[in-house]
Structure 1
């Protein structure tokens, strides 16, 4: 029997982005939202009206970090501090060590990740959690 491949489709990614933009609008945040697949490749992206340019890259870094280290980016930041790994966020082409990036899992299977940037770290995390809660 062949194993079934579990992936995030572009339709799934766009649904997640829609939920993220709805929550960001509720919070009054003009956010950038990135979805990457399990290989950390950009699958979908949205820059909301009024979002500045900086969060474009930051949202993608948050999503990539969550996949590469298989943990929320806020937890990754704690690992850096707790283990004296200052500078690690400069590896892998640039990582994000603050809230707003979450893995997208199917049980224990890594499907990809979401990265949100544009508000405070807490707002970005709230938006990402909300977006994934509807899956």
Structure 2
């Protein structure tokens, strides 16, 4: 009897490819950004702070990746999830590392969440565009 299970997770090689694809999209948008990729456990696998990206965006990007993998849903989905639920909206925002605005997406492969990507540096709509461009370029589904 085996008491373990096999868990898919993103590789360092794939994380680096996502960083490059996101940086390319951010360059095209003309916005320097911080880009974070986490594994299935929420651990940072890859990170890039583009020249000129805001310092505060370092933590925001890593927390977006963490939030996306931790709940298996994009960070922008949180707003609709909590907006009409006052107790949840007031309480959940005190959860460390939770980000409730756009720019974080789960990374999926073979139907499983294998990691998360978080982008910060522009308006959250720009962050979302860069993240989806990177995921799409590498063939990952976008939620």
**TM-score of the aligned structures, taking structure 1 as reference length:** 0.92
Q: CA RMSD in A?
A: 1.4
CA distance, structure 2, for counterparts of residue 55 and residue 77 of structure 1? 20
Q: Secondary structure at the match of 2:22?
A: helix
Q: Unaligned stretches of 5+ in structure 2?
A: 139-143
- The offset of 1:108, in angstroms, is 2.1
Partner of 2:34: 32
Between stretches 74-83 and 12-21, larger displacement belongs to 74-83
Contact 1:56–1:117 under 8 Å retained in 2: yes
Partner of 1:125: 128
CA distance, structure 1, for counterparts of residue 42 and residue 7 of structure 2? 17
Q: 1:100 aligns with which of 88, 98, 103?
A: 103
Q: Secondary structure at the match of 2:93?
A: helix
Q: Unaligned stretches of 5+ in structure 1?
A: none
Partner of 1:68: 70
CA distance, structure 1, for counterparts of residue 82 and residue 104 of structure 2? 15
Between stretches 77-86 and 17-26, larger displacement belongs to 77-86
Moved over 6 A (4+): none
- Number of paired residues? 132
Higher Cα Rg: structure 1 or 2?
2
Between stretches 74-83 and 29-38, larger displacement belongs to 74-83
Q: How does 1:2-13 map to 2 (within 5 A)?
A: 5-13=7-15
Contact 1:69–1:76 under 8 Å retained in 2: no
CA distance, structure 2, for counterparts of residue 12 and residue 107 of structure 1? 15
**TM-score of the aligned structures, taking structure 2 as reference length:** 0.87
